[in-house]
Amino acid sequence: MSTPYAKLPAWADYGLIPLINLSVAFIVAGFVVLLVGENPLRAAVILVEGAFGKGTGIAFTLFYATTFIFTGLSVAVAAHCSLFNIGTEGQAYIGGLGIALVCLSFDSTLPWWVIFPMAIVAAAAFGALWGLIPAYLQAKRGSHIVITTIMFNFIAASVMVYLLVGALKPAGSQAPQTRNFLAGAELPKLNWIIELFGAKIRSAPLNICFLLALVMAFLVWLLIWRTRLGYEMRTYGHSPKAARYAGISETRIIITAMMISGALAGMMALNPVMGDQHNVAIDFVSGAGYVGIAVALMGRLHPVGIVLAAILFGMLYQGGAELAFEMPAISRDMIVIIQGLVILFAGALEHMFRPYIQTLFASFSPKSVGMQAVKGTGA
Amino acid sequence: MAQAAIELIGINKSFGAVRANRDINLQVARGTIHGIVGENGAGKSTLMSILYGFYQADSGEIHVGGKPASIHTSNDAIALGIGMVHQHFMLVDNFTVLENIILGAETDALLKSSIAKARSELDRLEREYGLEVDPDAVIEELPVGLQQRVEILKALYRGAEILILDEPTGVLTPAEADHLFRILKQLKEQGKTIVLITHKLREIMAITDTVSVMRQGTMVATRVTKETTVGELAELMVGRRVLLRVEKGESEAGAIKLSVKNLTVKDSRGVTMVDNVSFDVRGGEIVGIAGVAGNGQSELLEAISGIRHAVSGEVTLDGKPIDLTGKADPGELRDRGLAHVPEDRHHVGLVLAFEENENSILGYHDDERYLKGPFLNVDAIMADAKEKIEKYDIRPGNPRLRTANFSGGNQQKIVLAREMEQDPGVLIVGQPTRGVDVGAIEFIHKRLIAMRDQGKAVLVVSVELDEIRSLSDRILVMFAGRVVGERGPDATEGELGLLMAGVEHQEAAQ
Ligand SMILES: Nc1ncnc2c1ncn2[C@@H]1O[C@H](COP(=O)(O)OP(=O)(O)OP(=O)(O)O)[C@@H](O)[C@H]1O
Ligand SMILES: [Mg+2]
């Protein structure tokens, strides 16, 4: 006998529940805004308009989203293999080191379209390497990946500080960052796409990394659901015993999954480093790795969901900045609280309302509960 | 009839296109034991899940104690005095018995008075029903039989007057099953009502007062147990006559295909589970390993199939040695023609969250047939899954359905189809028909015998003595990790029973 459990129709599972979670997050956030004496409705309008109202806003929103797509995918790939990679932050940071090495070496001699592929490889390789060590320790020594990846975030931070105030810093400079890259290491902007739709853009960092992120989302989908490796990762993710039975090597699959996850994390660095700052500065990741966890959870570990969740978080970042600017009572920290609420309700408490909704569905139309599983049946 | 404890009227339930229950009527009289039998996927568990509030019926009425009841969640069911013992126990492994029993029924934050109250209440229940179990024992250290007892105590603690048991004996040793039945009789004498789902018709005959038969979602008959026979029930279930014992010819044993010499296996705690075991399996024969569960059979299978490392010993497959003490890799053994149907289909043999077609390639997913370079060849996998569904009559015949949504017997068929269709030289099978209905047992037995007749070597481990006796050409009996005897297929149940209990073994040791 299999344990019976009720399932919701797909549209409720993927549409209604995230919507309810989000609404609750915004309602609670609204109370917080009310507490500091501002009008929550006006705040919401500013937030949304700041993110999508003008061309520049949209470009910024998508720029942030690009970063979160990479980190979200990184977390999701590991999660499909039941590995909780909290190290996306550090892997992205170290990925930046790889990019710095490539760009600093070649930016005076090669054009962007030669440097870009090299930088992709370097970013992915450095990130993968930073994922490999915790993976090896987990597979061979049983050190828990959550602990080791957190520790590796700190190690990454220290290594980068050491390099950015030392070897990578141009002589005579006071700032803990590399010199600015030359034009050869600057990525083309994508703002013209938004301008095609008639919107005006002053200056925004949206660049071709956004397209790369979408391609990676597709490739991750392909990897997880259409390749032998993805099949093995999912098998291990659902049941290590079944993986052993199927002849899937635990060491190999853990290491491979973590390296892919690390590579995706490393590639995140391309967006701010080559697309925007044109240098590697201290703390340039600034929490995007952790946001990736929320994005992956909210996107239900599916690339399409991750892209949508990343855009939502991009909106919170961009609209939030706008809000802090327009409503002085709402400080930068308040924006963090609002983002935190979204993470809380959409990520951590994802299942809080599910039982009630299931009961509701059950009493309205019992047939719909359980439908999802046999959708498209002819049996 | 005495007053009905439960009455179900016109219950319907569909999952998409699958009609799991159609227009079911059922009455269970207070203070009786009512059996429900039926093929895999007949809708028994679904019906009970509706009664217990896991699922909502699409239409129909439930009356409990003569009054109409509306049951939306299991809490509603518990409030109405309905308790359920799940086949897969819902206990917290690293909690004590007492902690598990109060879980969800705590009355105060610090648990102090809850625990004290629970302890005295538990003590009373244990004495009243002969359900002894140490309240301070940790669940994971208890044998399954006792874990099940905890489940029953948990239901009684919550005031259950009606107890539903879904395939309770699937995981029990015969002695544990006997004890369970004594407990159920005791409960009945105290006026409790019991609904028992099982595939073992002998259990139905031994313990129930009345029995209902389900077939493809409908209730086809209800009988007073004393007035029916095993044969009649089997026929009602399947809709045709069923061979309770499959005919088979003489075996024509050929060359040795699998040879095990001095195999010793320890479990993770270092306890010797398989102790210096040696035997051969030839092509064209079925060797059965009988024994009470927990005497090393599981570890033996795991070692031979490469899942568990052995401490010492030599195993050869088709004359070539396999390194079981170092890195035996199940994948490599599979490539060499050893197929394995594991005992635990839920965690080992299947990934329940996968679609059926994904499970139909588990372990063979690196086979070229199913791949296009690094990609899965989805079309080939689907076609292959459909073929197996057809051939093994797996229901519902939808390869896209999540494996968890197949009934137990059909899940077993998914595993069997996958392993048998690879045309292996050696097939090892753990508990081939656990949780499987009589019709499917007949089918599986026929298949195993057909494999034998094609010259394959088949090794079967089962705790069902009937199964071992009807399938095997040679029977090995395991006790305390050793092979304590070998018998022919005509060995009597009593003879095997004594060996399984280690009686002769102890005499020999003296
Ligand atoms: N959640 C679900 N979604 C879709 N189909 C389901 C679900 N649960 C059960 N089914 C289908 O409903 C039918 C009845 O299943 P059920 O588990 O009630 O059978 P059963 O009589 O208990 O079988 P078994 O003896 O093998 O345990 C089966 O065809 C099964 O595949
Ligand atoms: Mg069932």
Tell if the CB–CB gap between B88 and A3 is shorter than 8 Å.
yes
Band (pLDDT 50/70/90 cuts) for residue B271 is confident
What is the C-alpha to C-alpha distance for residues B129 and B421, in angstroms, rounded to an integer?
48
- Give domain status of residue B392, yes or no: no
B212 and B103, same structural domain?
Answer: yes
Q: Which residues of chain B lie closer than 8 angstroms to A376, CB-CB?
A: 400
Cα–Cα separations (whole angstroms), residue B7 to A156, B4, B27, B29, B133: 66, 6, 4, 9, 33
- Give domain status of residue B331, yes or no: yes
CA closest to B333 among chain A residues = A247
- Position A371 scores a pLDDT of 35
- Position B506 scores a pLDDT of 52
B193 and B105, same structural domain?
Answer: yes
Residue B113 above 70 pLDDT?
yes
Structure tokens at A40: 């929550």
Q: Which residues of chain A have pLDDT under 70?
A: 1-7, 347-348, 350, 362-379
Domain ranges of chain A: 61-311
- Position B2 scores a pLDDT of 58
Cα–Cα separations (whole angstroms), residue B32 to A75, B6, B77, B162, B179: 55, 11, 19, 10, 18
| Domain coverage including residue B314 | 256-347+425-509
Last-in-domain residue among B173, B205, B238: B238
3 state SS of B391: helix
B320 and B283, same structural domain?
Answer: yes
CATH of the domain at B289: 3.40.50.300
- Give domain status of residue B395, yes or no: no
What is the C-alpha to C-alpha distance for residues A195 and B224, in angstroms, rounded to an integer?
81
Q: Count of residues for chain B?
A: 510
Assembly ipTM: 0.84
Q: Which residues of chain A lie closer than 8 angstroms to B60, CB-CB?
A: none
Atom 12 of ligand 1: nearest residue by CA position? B20
B207 and B317, same structural domain?
Answer: no
Better-scored residue on pLDDT, A337 or B83: B83
Picking from A330, A189, A242, A255, the residue whose alpha carbon sits closest to that of residue B346 is A242
User: Which of A227, A245, A359 minimises the CB distance to B330?
Assistant: A245
B262 and B220, same structural domain?
Answer: no
User: Which of A4, A232, A245 minimises the CB distance to B55?
Assistant: A4
User: Which of A5, A362, A379 minimises the CB distance to B17?
Assistant: A379
Last-in-domain residue among B196, B211, B238: B238
B24 and B99, same structural domain?
Answer: yes
Radius of gyration from C-alpha coordinates of chain A:
22
* Residue list, ligand 1 pocket, CB within 6 Å: A 1, 4, 370, 373-374; B 15, 18, 20, 38, 40-46, 395-396, 405-409, 437
Q: Report the percent of chain B where pLDDT is more than 90.
A: 57
3 state SS of B33: strand
Last-in-domain residue among B209, B238, B267: B238
Averaged pLDDT for residues B373-387: 96
CA closest to A225 among chain B residues = B376
Secondary structure (DSSP) of B251-276: ----SEEEEEEEEEEE-TTS-EEEEE
3 state SS of B478: strand
pTM: 0.85
Q: Say if residue B396 is preceded by a cis peptide, omega within 30 of 0.
A: yes
B165 and B36, same structural domain?
Answer: yes
Residue B34 above 90 pLDDT?
yes
SS (H, E, C) chain A: CCCCCCCCCHHHHHHHHHHHHHHHHHHHHHHHHHHCCCCHHHHHHHHHHHHHHCHHHHHHHHHHHHHHHHHHHHHHHHHHCCCCCCCHHHHHHHHHHHHHHHHHHHCCCCCHHHHHHHHHHHHHHHHHHHHHHHHHHHHHHCCCHHHHHHHHHHHHHHHHHHHHCCCCCCCCCCCCECCCCCHHHCCCECHHHHHHCCCCCCCCCCECHHHHHHHHHHHHHHHHHHEHHHHHHHHHHHCHHHHHHCCCCHHHHHHHHHHHHHHHHHHHCHHHHHHHHCCCECCCCCCHHHHHHHHHHHCCCCHHHHHHHHHHHHHHHHHHHHHHHHCCCCCHHHHHHHHHHHHHHHHHCCCCCHHHHHHHHHHHCHHHCCCHHHCCCCC
Nearest-CA distance from B262 to chain A in Å? 24
Atom 16 of ligand 1: nearest residue by CA position? B43
Better-scored residue on pLDDT, B57 or A347: B57
Q: Which residues of chain B lie closer than 8 angstroms to A142, CB-CB?
A: none
Averaged pLDDT for residues B447-475: 93
**pLDDT tens digits, B2-11:** 578 999 999 9
What is the C-alpha to C-alpha distance for residues B468 and B466, in angstroms, rounded to an integer?
6
Structure tokens at A120: 């992709």
Structure tokens at A242: 């079944």
How many CB atoms are located within 10 Å of the residue B422 CB? 15
**pLDDT tens digits, A160-171:** 999 999 888 888
Structure tokens at B208: 């129930």
Tell if the CB–CB gap between B56 and A369 is shorter than 8 Å.
yes
Which residues in A have their CB inside 8 Å of a CB on B? 1-6, 222, 226-229, 231-232, 234-235, 238-239, 241-242, 244-249, 359, 362-363, 366-367, 369-371, 373-379
Nearest-CA distance from B507 to chain A in Å? 39
CA closest to B331 among chain A residues = A247
Nearest-CA distance from B18 to chain A in Å? 7
Tell if the CB–CB gap between B58 and A367 is shorter than 8 Å.
yes
Picking from B161, B149, B215, the residue whose alpha carbon sits closest to that of residue B190 is B161
Structure tokens at B194: 């019991």
Tell if the CB–CB gap between B376 and A239 is shorter than 8 Å.
no
Residue B238 above 90 pLDDT?
no
B322 and B452, same structural domain?
Answer: yes
Atom 2 of ligand 1: nearest residue by CA position? B405
| Domain total of chain B | 2
CA closest to B386 among chain A residues = A379
What is the CATH topology of the domain spanning A61-311?
A: ABC transporter involved in vitamin B12 uptake, BtuC (1.10.3470)
- Position A372 scores a pLDDT of 36
- Give domain status of residue B366, yes or no: no
How many CB atoms are located within 10 Å of the residue B190 CB? 12
Q: Which residues of chain B lie closer than 8 angstroms to A362, CB-CB?
A: 56, 72
B226 and B331, same structural domain?
Answer: no
B321 and B208, same structural domain?
Answer: no
B10 and B153, same structural domain?
Answer: yes
What is the C-alpha to C-alpha distance for residues A46 and A40, in angstroms, rounded to an integer?
10
Better-scored residue on pLDDT, B301 or B408: B301
What is the C-alpha to C-alpha distance for residues B62 and B45, in angstroms, rounded to an integer?
16
CA of B405 to the centre of ligand 1 (A): 6
- Give domain status of residue B403, yes or no: no
Tell if the CB–CB gap between A244 and B362 is shorter than 8 Å.
no
Better-scored residue on pLDDT, B112 or B135: B135
- Give domain status of residue B408, yes or no: no
- Position A3 scores a pLDDT of 33
